[in-house]
Structure 1
Amino acid sequence: MTARKFETSLPAAAKYGIGAVVTIGLLAVLNPFYEVDEGHVGVVKRFGEAVEQTDPGLHTLIPVIDEVVPIEVRTRKNVEKHAAATKEQMPVTVEVSVNWTVDKSEALDLYKRYGSLDQFENRVLDPRLRAATKDAISHYTSEDLIKNRIAAVAEAMDDLTRATQDFPITLDSLQIENIALPVAYLKSIEDKQTAKNRAAEEEHKLAQQQLQSQQRVNTAKAQAAATREAAEADAYATRQKALADAEAIRQIGDAEAAATVAKIKAFGSAEAVVRYEHIKKWNGTLPTTSLSGEAGVLMQVPSAQ
């Protein structure tokens, strides 16, 4: 009885097992679940028609019938390299980039109108980026582009913003990554800069020479001034000494005159003063000669024994 029961229950268990395997197989083949990664939205296509947009996370779809296309809504960078011409018609090769973002709420509409983001770049963004860059560069000379690239970038950004204002995107920034100028022009710039450097060097040497010359002039002027001041000082000292000597002589003369006047007053006459001075200077020796009054003959006077 037990064996018979086991035999009758075996087919049912096998049936459930087969059903489970079939179900798992169908789920694996006809997976009704899908995920949308962060930074993207999902565009659900049903029989090839874009019908709805889904946010990041886990969602379900109708197997076989539905298809999901991920659309990135983070900032993308698109780079273009193309030829352009400057204001003086000099050919240049420009590498320009633009950072742009799909408006998340309108990703479904963008896909319906233009397809994938790569298709949108190829059909819409890239041609307008090239046109805006070429137009901006044509307003600047080669030298201006080197010195003031920011102005050209700003103008290109304004042009591209106007050209894409009706599309569901946001332009974040535009950059002119590189400007390749002709080799001959670069050589001319190098030569020009070299000439400027040499001229600046010569000007510097001339300025140094002028400075040294001025320093020598200043030194000579200082030395001349010092010599003149020294001479003036010597002359002043000599003049002051002469004045002092003259004053001393005057004072001595005044003193001697006063003394003579005093002596005259004391002796009664100038003749008496003369005799006094003579006696004062006499050393006690009598004269050895005298003049004879008759014929002016010089006679020897005998000395006292």
Structure 2
Amino acid sequence: MTDTQGNSNRLQQHAVAGSRPIGSGIVALAIVLVLIAAVMGSWYTIDQGDRGVLLTNGALSSAVDPGLHFKLPWLQRVEKISLRQQVIKWGCENQSDCGNLPAMQAYSRDQQPANMRVTVNFHVPAAEVSNVYINYGSIEALADRVIARKAPQEIKTVFGQYDAVSVIQNRAKFNKDVADAISAVTDGPVMIDSVQVENIDFSDAYEQAVEARMTAQVEVQKQEQNLQQEKIKADIAVTQAKGRADSVKAEAEASAYKTKIEGEATAEAIKARAAALANNPLLVELTKAEKWDGQLPKSMIPGSTVPFLELGTPAPAAN
């Protein structure tokens, strides 16, 4: 019994002696791991376009700019806030792109229902990073409370100030009015960059009515154009006829004037000839003599006389 107990004691002593190095190795490994974790957790980086919020035991210590920084392991942590442009959408063709936001539905001033696709672009100013974290915790919560809950009502209010026709004809003005309205009610640490009303979809019945009205307007415009063309053709015909009439009138006046001048010339000639005959009675006989060829007629009417020239009495000879 004594030998057996001695052997048992010696085995226990050897087991205790062997467990001491194993335990020491585990403790050393744990210390090394703790040191590695402390070293790895003592530095961090902030990307360009982001800002960091340094928290010490949950309390805000400071806002951190981009770059490499150090912190106390386990006591401090960093939350990142993006300064990049963010987007909120309503009325997406694929509803999953809009998250939990409902479709944007509104009524125009003339009570026409419409579904709209609206996009709001915004960003957080660098100076407002601490305010965002303290009051909202994240950009998502900020967007939900400051923009997503207020913007739909403003869009519907502005849309209700337009009738269905004018909102289509004045898209740029409507878009600007919507952007101004959303910017006016956005009172949080956020900057509205732009607002786009990308699509306005009215009911099928209204769109068919608009299409029919536009078709009728096109037909009326076509008829007006045809009427205008006919009027132009008529004006051209009248102008051409007036031109021809003026031409005929001018020719008649020219002919009449020519006849008048010729008549006046003939009358003047006759008048001059008559005056000459009156002053010279023998001029007729002279003309006959000038025109006589000296031949007597070869045939004569019975009982007629032989033509002759009447010669005057010769003038007495001078002494």
Tell me the TM-score range normalised by the shorter chain: 0.7 to 0.9
TM-score (norm. length: structure 1): 0.75
Q: Does 1:71 align with 2:92?
A: no
Corresponding residue of 1:43? 53
Corresponding residue of 2:239? 218
The equivalent position to 1:146 in structure 2, one of 168, 173, 179, is: 168
In structure 1, runs of 5+ residues without a counterpart are: 1-14, 265-272, 291-305
Q: Does 1:189 align with 2:198?
A: no
Indicate how the Cα distance of structure 1 residues 139 and 256 shifts in structure 2: closer, same or farther if over 3 A, else same: same
How many residues end up aligned between the 2 structures? 258
Corresponding residue of 2:307? none
1:88 to partner: Cα distance: 1.7
List, as ranges, runs of 4+ consecutive aligned residues in structure 1 with deviation greater than 3 Å: 18-26, 45-51, 281-285
Q: Does 1:100 align with 2:122?
A: yes
Corresponding residue of 2:70? 60
Identity %: 28
Return the letter of the residue paired with 1:158. D
1:142 to partner: Cα distance: 1.1
Q: 1:34-88 deviations in whole A, cap 9, x for unaligned?
A: 1000111112234444443211111112223332221011332322231111112
Query: Take 2:296 and 2:241, find their aligned partners in 1: how far apart are those partners?
Result: 70
Indicate how the Cα distance of structure 1 residues 284 and 36 shifts in structure 2: closer, same or farther if over 3 A, else same: closer
Return the letter of the residue paired with 1:85. Y
Query: Take 2:213 and 2:197, find their aligned partners in 1: how far apart are those partners?
Result: 25
1:289 to partner: Cα distance: 7.6
TM-score (norm. length: structure 2): 0.72
Of the structure 1 ranges 46-55 and 36-45, higher mean CA displacement relative to structure 2 is found in: 46-55
The equivalent position to 2:260 in structure 1, one of 239, 247, 251, is: 239
Indicate how the Cα distance of structure 1 residues 49 and 247 shifts in structure 2: closer, same or farther if over 3 A, else same: same
Corresponding residue of 2:36? 27
Corresponding residue of 1:89? 111
Return the letter of the residue paired with 1:141. D
The equivalent position to 1:207 in structure 2, one of 228, 242, 245, is: 228
Query: Take 1:206 and 1:143, find their aligned partners in 2: how far apart are those partners?
Result: 28
1:90 to partner: Cα distance: 1.6
In structure 2, runs of 5+ residues without a counterpart are: 1-23, 92-103, 305-319
Q: What does 1:162-201 align with in structure 2 at a 5 Å threshold?
A: 162-165=184-187, 167-201=188-222
Name the SS for the 1:197 alignment partner. Answer: helix
Name the SS for the 1:214 alignment partner. Answer: helix
